[in-house]
């Protein structure tokens, strides 16, 4: 499979980290649940799904560890893209690494855990992910939920992109481009901008408790100009791939937005990109 470009994951990491500050109440709720359902001294198993090069796992570890005193944390990173997982291995040498497609998760993770840190006791498993649900299919979501239910675990799935973005100053083309981008992201039965909502709805149908919150990226010109330019350029490339008829409009829009991001055009540009966070409790 094709993974995310490592330099893209590197570039977005500070913006993801800042956005996930808004996810802390859900993370604290997950930690509280794990403390309630396990004894001091016991081992908790944390599995980051779609771990990429390990940026999201690093964030989860940094924020979860102080919230889980008197527990041993066994970390595992799962991804379907071998080169990314190899980089994650260098960043996280003390974690288990599992090369697996999400659809194979119930069997593959079961075997991997038996061979490494052992089968988690009920209530001691936390599945995490960040910026992953949009690239999954319904079958992948079902595989994740089957895994969660099997271990009566918790799922903390952050930064699932939605269709909405808000640019100030606004431009009538913003909405057209957002819609065309959302269409592009649904190729191959992927859930795209519906990933977070689909996970939440599918979980509710299985009787799993669901909490949600929001964690938008907040991008500001001119300090974030370089990242904004890359983000917009990649969006425009995707839009043109989905709808070649939008090429001229998208190129003009990108040229204007690049000038605004550089702070050279009137008031500075600000961009909010919406994300949904989902906390699942299958205990
Ligand atoms: C946008 S990246 C996020 C990486 C990481 N969570 C982070 O925040 O830096 C999405 C990751 O999901 C992985 N992925 C996408 N679809 C997958 C699938 N069906 N099975 C396993 N991994 C998948 C990709 O290889 C990629 O590493």
The answer on pLDDT for 265 being more than 80 is: no
pLDDT of res. 1: 80
Residue 146 placed within a domain: yes
The protein residue with its alpha carbon nearest to ligand 1, atom 9, reads 55
DSSP letter assigned to residue 119: P
Range of the domain at 157: 6-162+188-217+274-281
173 found inside a domain? no
pLDDT tens digit sequence for 123-162: 999 999 999 999 999 999 999 999 999 999 999 999 999 9
CATH number at residue 128: 3.40.50.150
Is the residue at 202 inside a domain?
Answer: yes
Q: Kindly state whether residue 131 falls inside one of the protein's structural domains.
A: yes
Tell me the per-residue pLDDT of 87-106, one tens digit each, with 9 for 90 and over. 999 999 999 999 999 999 99
Give yes or no for residue 87 CB within 6 A of ligand 1.
no
pLDDT at residue 268 in the model:
81
d(CA 158, CA 129): 6
Q: What is the DSSP letter of 120?
A: P
Taking 80 as the threshold, does the pLDDT of residue 63 lie above it? yes
Contacts 24+ apart (CB under 8 A), 4-8: 4/52, 4/81, 4/84, 6/52, 6/53, 6/83, 6/84, 6/87, 8/230, 8/234
253 occurs within a structural domain: no
Other C-beta atoms lying within 10 Å of the C-beta of residue 29 = 16
Which pLDDT score, from 0 to 100, does residue 263 have? 74
What is the enclosing helix (H) or strand (E) of 270?
A: strand 270-281
Torsion sign across C-alpha atoms 194, 81, 116, 45 = negative
Residue 247 resides in a domain: no
User: Cis bond leading into 169, ω under 30°?
Assistant: yes
C-alpha 180 to ligand 1 mean position (Å)? 22
Flag whether 135 is in a domain. yes
Tell whether 180 is covered by a domain.
no
Cβ of 80 less than 6 Å from ligand 1: yes
48 CA distance to ligand 1 centroid (A)? 10
Q: How many domains does the chain have?
A: 1
**124 contacts 37 by C-beta, under 8 angstroms:** yes
Q: Does the CB atom of residue 88 touch ligand 1 within 6 A? A: no
């Amino acid at each position: 499979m094709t993974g995310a470009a490592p330099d893209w994951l590197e570039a977005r990491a500070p913006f993801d980290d800042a956005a996930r500050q808004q996810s802390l109440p859900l993370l604290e709720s997950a930690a509280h649940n794990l403390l309630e359902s396990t004894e001091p001294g016991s081992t908790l198993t944390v599995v980051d799904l779609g771990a990429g090069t390990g940026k999201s796992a690093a964030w989860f570890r940094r924020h979860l560890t102080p919230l889980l005193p008197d527990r041993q944390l066994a970390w595992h990173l799962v991804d379907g893209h071998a080169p990314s997982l190899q980089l994650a291995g260098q960043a996280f040498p003390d974690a288990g690494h599992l090369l697996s497609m999400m659809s194979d998760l119930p069997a593959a993770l079961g075997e991997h855990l038996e061979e490494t840190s052992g089968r988690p006791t009920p209530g001691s498993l936390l599945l995490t992910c960040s910026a992953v649900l949009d690239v999954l299919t319904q079958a992948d979501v079902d595989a994740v939920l089957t895994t969660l239910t099997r271990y009566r675990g918790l799922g903390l799935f952050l930064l699932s992109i939605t269709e909405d973005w808000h640019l100030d100053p606004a431009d009538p083309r913003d909405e057209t481009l957002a819609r065309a981008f959302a269409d592009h992201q649904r190729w191959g039965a992927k859930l795209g901008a519906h990933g977070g909502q689909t996970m939440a709805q599918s979980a509710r149908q299985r009787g799993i408790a669901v909490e949600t919150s929001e964690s938008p990226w907040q991008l500001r010109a001119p300090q974030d100009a370089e990242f904004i330019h890359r983000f917009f350029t990649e969006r425009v490339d995707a839009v043109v791939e989905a709808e070649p008829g939008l090429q001229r409009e998208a190129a003009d829009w990108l040229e204007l937005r690049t000038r605004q991001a550089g702070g050279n055009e009137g008031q500075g540009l600000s961009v909010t990109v919406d994300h949904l966070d989902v906390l699942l409790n299958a205990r």
